[in-house]
């Protein structure tokens, strides 16, 4: 066997090992129920429940933000984020939170908002008179 073939084979094996090991890095979005069951760090996708309270009181604690989110299965849980409230939070169409479910609330350390485009493309801005 040629050396180059040996090398290519080694490379292929490395690549295969990497891809097999990397498959542990991916998962489907969890739901609150499955997060509660597994107790591990997961991503949950859902939408903001606007009728329930959204707490952010920066003058007391700028690193505590909580809200209620409805996941894809329709279950509503409190989500606590130990960070500042993200910009345009209420405009979000969907929310992805990453964290752990404990004590009947979801403790998130990461949040990603999917917001509608900042400018509604079919909305005309009128010039201010005068």
Residue (23 or 104) nearer to another protein, CB: 23
Q: How far apart are CA 83 and CA 12, in angstroms?
A: 43
Least separation in angstroms between CB 51 and another protein: 17
- Rounded Cα distance between 79 and 94, Å, is 14
For another protein, the closer of residues 3 and 104 by Cβ is 3
Point out which residues bind another protein (CB under 8 A): 2-4, 7-8, 11, 14-15, 18-19, 22, 25-29, 41-43, 45, 56, 58-64, 82-85, 87, 94, 96, 98, 112, 114-115, 117-119, 121-122, 124-127
Q: How far is CA 23 from the centre of its chain?
A: 19
Least Cβ distance, residue 84 to another protein (angstroms): 4
Shorter beta-carbon distance to another protein: residue 49 or 96: 96
CA distances from 43 to 14, 48, 76, 100, 125 (A): 29, 15, 15, 9, 38
Give me the least distance between CB of 62 and another protein, in Å please: 4
User: What is the DSSP secondary structure assignment for residue 87, as one 8-state letter?
Assistant: T
Euclidean distance between CA atoms 31 and 36, whole angstroms: 8
Question: Residue 48's closest CA among 33, 67, 34?
Answer: 67
49 vs 113 by CB, closer to another protein: 113
CB of 14 to another protein, least distance (A): 7
């Amino acid at each position: 066997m040629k050396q180059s073939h040996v090398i290519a084979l080694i490379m292929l094996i490395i690549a295969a090992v990497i891809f097999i090991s990397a498959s542990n890095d991916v998962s489907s979005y969890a739901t609150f129920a499955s997060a509660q069951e597994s107790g591990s760090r997961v991503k949950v996708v859902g939408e903001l429940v606007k009728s329930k309270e959204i707490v952010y009181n920066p003058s007391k604690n700028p690193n505590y933000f909580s809200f209620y989110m409805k996941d894809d299965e329709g279950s509503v849980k409190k989500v606590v984020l130990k960070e500042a409230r993200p910009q345009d939070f209420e405009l979000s169409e969907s929310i992805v939170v990453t964290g752990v479910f404990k004590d009947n609330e979801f403790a998130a350390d990461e949040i990603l908002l999917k917001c509608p485009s900042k400018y509604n493309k079919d909305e005309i801005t009128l010039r201010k008179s005068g």
